Structure 1
Amino acid sequence: MKLITREGKLFNKIHIFDLLFLMLIIVVILGAISKFSGKNIINLTTNTENVMVEFTVETYPFQEDYFASIEVGDKLAEDKKYINGTVTNIQIIDNMLALPDNNGQMVTESDPFKKKALVTSRVEMSYKDPVYKMGKEEMVVGNVFFFTTEKVKLSSVIVDFKIVK
């Protein structure tokens, strides 16, 4: 018994091109499942719940004019879509610099050109043990976060995170 016969049949049962076609269909189906489940097939089988969370981000230093475009009540966004969340508080703080003085001593002073902002937002996130996600981003204190509203997108770091009941 030959592996492939003259007619192109594998084990004298199925044509080799039919087998390749079936393998191609299986790869396409697995690719579609991977794409729609966020590259994690477990997403299709586990349940997520939505929780209301309040988090605070500290932006990187920018000129103070940038922060004028953030207003209380702005909707949060990601990938050109609005997320169920709003900005609840904005506080502009000094950007502190540590520089040596003429005597070689380290002195901390506020930066005259750049400021930081503490922006607090309340948003509904998906929770799947142990991960909180807002859109595609995992929310963990200390992570870099691109704070995006309908008007502005700023690089920031998550400094506070609490569940609101």
Structure 2
Amino acid sequence: MKKRVAVRNIQLCTKDCLCLYVCPYGATDTEDSVIDISKCDGCGACAEACPSKAISLVPISYPPQQRKDKDVVNALRKLSTSKTKQENIALQIAKQTNKKGLSNLLFAISKSNRIIAEDLLREAGYMLPQSKNTHQLLKALLKEDDIPKESVKYLLEKIEPNE
């Protein structure tokens, strides 16, 4: 049974397509640039050949999420909520200003806050999609009004918890 599969980061891919020539299973030869994991055996030939390092090998199943103290998780979530609000504020102001320099700065601040919020959530125990924490968060999101509920339901159906 295969333990890992190849995945491609489309943002890094420079379309050199060496992966097409080295994959012994034809898993990289797809119309939409997504690697066909039903064909991939995880040999890593495509990842080694990729000059832009856009292909990585990821495990089929991840280990259980490391436990975090509840107070730490609550503090990290509170801080990530603050960073998300800061991201949205910076984005709104950036869209309203006519000053190019200010707009660029605010877009950078917005992006920075998003990255920080993502890092905080990962540290709070939401790094692995199969974790119990992530599933609880997804279920809680279903109660929110401004969330794409069909997407959340799809994720809950497709990703089985591992703990």
Q: TM-score per shorter chain, which class?
A: under 0.3
TM-score, with length taken from structure 1: 0.21
Hey, which of these two has a bigger chunk of strand by percent?
Answer: 1
Structure holding more helix per residue = 2
